[in-house]
């Protein structure tokens, strides 16, 4: 009985905790995935490409999308909108892919409400707030005001870790990526358990 049901893996955590770096390692060890590219109204950072890192758009266009129901979830963070377009997500799930989200705490709650049975979530962070501060300053992509906003937001988001299936401290890249690969594989198994009708029908045949 071969069947692969689409599944969702949500990664959340403060900017600077290393989610993107971890994912690059994870992609080497898993197949048939789709990374959900978020749409945002913030300006691109140096080196970021439209359609690769984010879909960059205007506030007006984003709000039109909200009105027409184009987003699975969206939130306003640091005075900018971030959201997930619904159409490519549905297509990837119908193809049995593991859909990976990099979204904030608000987005996690919304996706949980809508698609809970196929969702596995991980909150990723640094060993401490001090380490996060150091990493944000070291990458040299944001001014001090933006960094302060990110740190303030991180202090709030850390209180939501009990809403996630897993909590992962990104201190050692190899160790953390290995754990994340395992979680990604578990996400597929978990999602398949919920298609009772398909399993029972095939088992009886």
Which option is the CATH number for 7-204: 3.40.50.300, 3.30.1280.10, 3.40.50.920, 1.10.10.60? 3.40.50.300
Q: Are 15 and 150 spatial neighbours (Cβ–Cβ below 8 Å)?
A: yes
Taking the whole predicted model, whether its pTM rises above 0.85 is answered as no
State the pLDDT at residue 202.
79
The 10s digit of each residue's pLDDT in 44-102 is 988 899 988 899 999 999 999 999 999 998 988 878 999 999 988 999 999 999 999 99
Q: Would the pLDDT of 199 be above 50?
A: yes
State the pLDDT at residue 197.
75
- Contacts of 34-37 spanning 24+ positions with Cβ under 8 A: 34/88, 34/92, 34/97, 34/98, 34/99, 34/100, 35/100, 35/102, 36/84, 36/88, 36/89, 36/92, 36/99, 36/100, 36/101, 36/102, 36/103
State the pLDDT at residue 1.
38
The 10s digit of each residue's pLDDT in 186-197 is 998 887 766 677
Mean pLDDT of 124-132: 95
User: Among 165, 173, 148, which Cα is nearest to 18's?
Assistant: 173
State the pLDDT at residue 203.
80
Mean pLDDT of 122-130: 96
Q: Which residues pair with 101 in a beta bridge?
A: 10
Mean pLDDT of 159-182: 96
Per-residue b/e over 192-204, b at no fewer than 16 CB within 10 Å? beeeeeeeeeeee
State the pLDDT at residue 2.
44
Percent of the chain with pLDDT over 90: 67
Mean pLDDT of 29-52: 91
Q: Would the pLDDT of 182 be above 50?
A: yes
Q: Which residues pair with 121 in a beta bridge?
A: 10
Residue with tokens 């439209």: 50
């Amino acid at each position: 009985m071969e069947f692969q049901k689409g599944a969702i893996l949500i990664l959340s955590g403060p900017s600077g905790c290393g989610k993107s770096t971890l994912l690059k390692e994870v992609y080497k060890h898993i197949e048939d995935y789709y990374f959900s590219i978020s749409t945002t109204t913030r300006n691109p950072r140096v080196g970021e490409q439209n359609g690769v890192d984010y879909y960059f758009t205007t506030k007006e266009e984003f709000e039109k999308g909200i009105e027409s129901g184009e987003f699975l979830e969206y939130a306003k963070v640091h005075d900018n909108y971030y959201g997930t377009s619904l159409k490519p997500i549905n297509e990837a799930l119908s193809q049995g892919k593991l859909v990976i989200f990099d979204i904030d705490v608000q987005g996690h709650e919304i996706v949980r409400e809508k698609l809970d049975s196929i969702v596995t979530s991980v909150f990723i962070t640094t060993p401490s707030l001090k380490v996060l501060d150091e990493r944000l300053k070291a990458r040299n992509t944001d001014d001090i005001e933006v960094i302060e906003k990110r740190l303030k937001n991180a202090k709030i988001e850390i209180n939501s870790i009990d809403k996630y299936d897993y909590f992962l401290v990104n201190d050692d890249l190899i160790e953390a990526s290995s754990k994340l690969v395992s979680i990604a594989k578990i996400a597929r198994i978990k999602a398949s358990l919920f298609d009772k009708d398909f399993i029972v029908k095939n088992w009886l045949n």
